[in-house]
A and B are shown apart, each in its own frame.
Chain A
Amino acid sequence: MAATKLSYADLLQTNNIMRCQGEETLFLGITRTVQESKFFPVSAYVMLGYLNAFYRYPALLRKVEAAMPPEEIADRIRNTNSKLKSMGTNWCMPNFYLLGREMLINMGVIRPQDAAEDVAYVLDFWRRYQLAWRRDDGHLTNLEGGHRSQVLPERQVQVMHADMFDCAEGDELHEAAINFTAAISQYAVLIACESRVCMTNHGPYNLGEDRELLVREFFDLGQGDLPWLDDIADELPFSRLTLATGVKDTHFYIVDDWGSYEAKPEYKAENLVTVGLYTSDDLSETHIPVGMGSREELTQTLNDYAQKLKDVTTKLWERLAGYQREQLMDAGAFTYFAIIRDFAHVAGVYDQEDWFTIDERADRFRVLLNDEYGNEILGALFVPLSLNSHQQNEYQMMRHSGMPKRTYSPIPYTVLQAEDDDYVASVGPDLSPGVTYLPEKVDRYWTTRGTMTADELNQATRDFTPRLAGEDLRYLDDAWVKYNFDTPLAASLYEIDQEQSRVLAGKGAGLRRDDVERLRSE
Chain B
Amino acid sequence: MVKLYTDTDKFESHEGPVVVEAFHSALKDLVRSSLDKAGVSWKEFVFSKEYEFITPEAIAAIEQSVVESGYRYQTSAVISFIERPEAYSPIAGADATSDTFSFEHADAVTSELEDGRAQVGQGDNVATYAKNVIGTARYYRSIDDVMTGLREGVPANTVAIIDDSGGTLTAPIIEQFTGIVCAGGTVRSHLGILTREYGIPCVMNSKISGVVNGDTVEVGVSGAAKTTEAYQQGREMSVPVWKHASAS
Complex: A354 Cα to B133 Cα, angstroms: 50
Say whether A39 contacts B197, CB under 8 Å.
no
Contact of B51 (CB < 8 Å), options: A33, A40, A324, A361 = A361
Say whether A380 contacts B16, CB under 8 Å.
yes
A39-B143, A114-B47, A422-B42 as given contacts; A194 in contact with B166, CB under 8 Å = yes
Does A63 touch B at the CB level, under 8 Å? no
Contact of B14 (CB < 8 Å), options: A109, A388, A392 = A388
The chain A residue with its CB closest to the CB of B48 is: A424
Does A449 touch B at the CB level, under 8 Å? no
Does B56 touch A at the CB level, under 8 Å? yes
Does A193 touch B at the CB level, under 8 Å? yes
A121-129, A275-283, A313-321, A463-471: which one contacts chain B? A313-321
Say whether B19 contacts A376, CB under 8 Å.
yes
Complex: A109 Cα to B62 Cα, angstroms: 15
> Residues of A contacting B246 with CB < 8 Å?
none
Say whether B164 contacts A36, CB under 8 Å.
yes
Which residue, of B13, B75, B172, B186, has the highest number of chain A Cβ atoms within 10 A? B172
Say whether B141 contacts A38, CB under 8 Å.
yes
Say whether B20 contacts A387, CB under 8 Å.
yes
Complex: A114 Cα to B43 Cα, angstroms: 9
Say whether A391 contacts B54, CB under 8 Å.
no
Question: How many residues of A are in contact with the other chain, CB < 8 A?
Answer: 81
Which residue, of A38, A40, A391, A392, has the highest number of chain B Cβ atoms within 10 A? A38
CB pairs A–B below 8 angstroms (23 shown): A32-B188, A33-B165, A36-B76, A36-B165, A43-B76, A44-B77, A107-B24, A111-B5, A181-B197, A182-B199, A186-B174, A194-B167, A266-B127, A313-B171, A314-B171, A317-B150, A320-B168, A368-B62, A370-B73, A373-B23, A377-B17, A387-B24, A424-B43
Give the interface of B toward A (CB within 8 A): 4-6, 9-20, 23-24, 27-28, 31-32, 41-43, 46-48, 50-51, 54-56, 59-60, 62-63, 73-80, 83, 87-88, 91, 127, 141-143, 146-147, 150, 163-169, 171-172, 174-175, 184-186, 188-190, 193-194, 197-199, 225, 227-228, 231-232
Beyond A375-B76, A388-B11, list 6 extra A-B contacts (CB 8 Å): A36-B166, A115-B47, A186-B197, A317-B172, A325-B77, A371-B76
Give the interface of A toward B (CB within 8 A): 30-33, 35-44, 105-111, 114-115, 178, 181-182, 185-186, 189-190, 193-194, 196, 260, 262, 266, 268-269, 310, 313-314, 317-318, 320-321, 323-325, 328, 361, 363-368, 370-377, 379-380, 386-389, 391-393, 404, 421-424, 426-428
The 9 A-B pairs of least Cβ separation, nearest first, read: A108-B28, A37-B166, A376-B17, A391-B11, A182-B197, A371-B76, A189-B167, A372-B73, A41-B77
